[in-house]
Amino acid sequence: MRLLDAVAWLGAFVLAMVEYVGELAVFALAGVSHLLLPPYFPRQIGRAFMEIGYFSLPVVALTALFTGMVLALQSYTGFSRFGAESAIASVVVLSVTRELGPVLAGLMVSGRAGAAMAAELGTMRVTDQIDALSTLSTDPMKYLVAPRLLAGTIALPLLVLLADILGVMGGYLVGVYKLGFSSGGYLTSTFSNLEAQDVISGLIKAAVFGFVIALMGCFNGYRSRGGAQGVGAATTSAVVSASILILALDYVLTQVLFVK
């Protein structure tokens, strides 16, 4: 009987996962299709852009700055064992632009803006505000979801661009003022090994992560049920699922963008 119970549980789990993925795919397609077709809500797009982009600036900036600083320090302690200290600047700039900038910015924005989106839409769902939109001849997908998807996809690359600059600056500060590298030498080493593709690939990753953060925030909030507990569960689910997807997609995108 225990074996049958386990099989039944596994079957139910697989069915639930398939249903979840199917609903998510339909939701994403609906959201994207609403982006393409009028009417558009520029005020909503602007508001979403402010929430995801502008208000995430401090947390992303601080994360990037300290990450660059730590990276330089750690690289120095590791590389000095085999006399490769001169590679620090290159390691910092490539790590930040290719990986750490998009991933860390994505995780921070997921925790801040993704959670806020899920909480807002979840509250709107449980207080009938989403139903009210429908009764006012306004498609909630078009009014609430599409602007956030667009804002997420545009805002995160801009944040990552800033994160790249601040991350490199953090490495420069530690390299020059603590580890004793010359300013000119550090900068030369930084830019001599940096290619446009390193930055562009990071920005492509950021655009995908931004879309995923907005999608998971909206999806979980939109299907929220019950009262405060349901909204809380939706918020947690939005952050956890977006974070896992960011890490998984980072691998996939690295494979696609860098592995020849």
Partner 1 sequence: MSKLKIRIRGLKKYFGPKKVLDGIDLDVETGTGMVVIGGSGTGKSVLLKSILGLITPDEGSIEIDGIDVLKAPVRDARALRQQIGMLFQNGALFDSLQVWENVAFGLLAQKKVSRVKARDVAVEVLAQVGLGADVARLSPSELSGGMQKRVGLARAIAARPAIMFFDEPTTGLDPIMGAVIDELIVDCVKKLGSTSIAITHDMASAQRIGDMAAMLYEGQITWTGPAEELLTTTDPVVDQFTHGRAHGPIKMALRK
One of 143, 204, 253, 254 touching partner 1 (CB under 8 A): 143
One of 74, 90, 95, 129 touching partner 1 (CB under 8 A): 129
One of 138, 169, 173, 204 touching partner 1 (CB under 8 A): 138
Phi, psi of 209 (to 5 degrees): -65, -40
Does 135 interact with partner 1 (rule: CB under 8 A)?
Answer: yes
**Residue 50 or 247 having the CB closest to partner 1:** 50
* Burial annotation 113-136 (CB, 10 A radius, 16+ → b, else e): bbbbbbbbbbbbbbeeebeebeee
Min dist CB 36 to partner 1, Å, is 18
The residue among 63, 59, 50 whose CA lies nearest residue 164 is 63
**Residue 178 or 225 having the CB closest to partner 1:** 225
Per CB under 8 A, contacts with partner 1 among 29-58 are 39, 41, 47
Does 223 interact with partner 1 (rule: CB under 8 A)?
Answer: no
Question: With the CA atoms of 125, 32, 102 and 57 taken in that order, what torsion angle do they form, in degrees rounded to the nearest 10?
Answer: -50
Q: What are the respective helix, strand and coil percentages of the chain, to the nearest 5?
A: 90, 0, 10
**Residue 140 or 157 having the CB closest to partner 1:** 140
Stretch that binds partner 1, among 26-34, 110-118, 128-136, 189-197 (CB under 8 A): 128-136
Stretch that binds partner 1, among 23-31, 88-96, 137-145, 176-184 (CB under 8 A): 137-145
Binding-residue pattern over the window 81 to 120 for partner 1, x denoting contact by CB under 8 A: ---------------------------------------x
Min dist CB 50 to partner 1, Å, is 12
Contact predicate 89/189, CB 8 Å: yes
Q: What are the DSSP calls for 17-44, one per residue? A: HHHHHHHHHHHHHHHHHHHHSS---HHH
Contact predicate 222/179, CB 8 Å: no
Min dist CB 216 to partner 1, Å, is 21
Does 27 interact with partner 1 (rule: CB under 8 A)?
Answer: no
Residues 6+ away with beta carbon under 8 Å from 58: none
Cα separation of 97 and 160, whole Å? 8
- The beta-strand segments (E) located in 76-231 are none
Does 134 interact with partner 1 (rule: CB under 8 A)?
Answer: yes
Q: Which residue has the tokens 């498609």?
A: 139
Min dist CB 88 to partner 1, Å, is 47
One of 1, 36, 136, 196 touching partner 1 (CB under 8 A): 136
Min dist CB 41 to partner 1, Å, is 8
Does the bond joining 39 to the residue before it have cis omega, within 30 degrees of 0?
A: yes
Tell me which residues touch partner 1 (CB under 8 A). Answer: 39, 41, 47, 120, 123-124, 127-129, 131-132, 134-138, 143
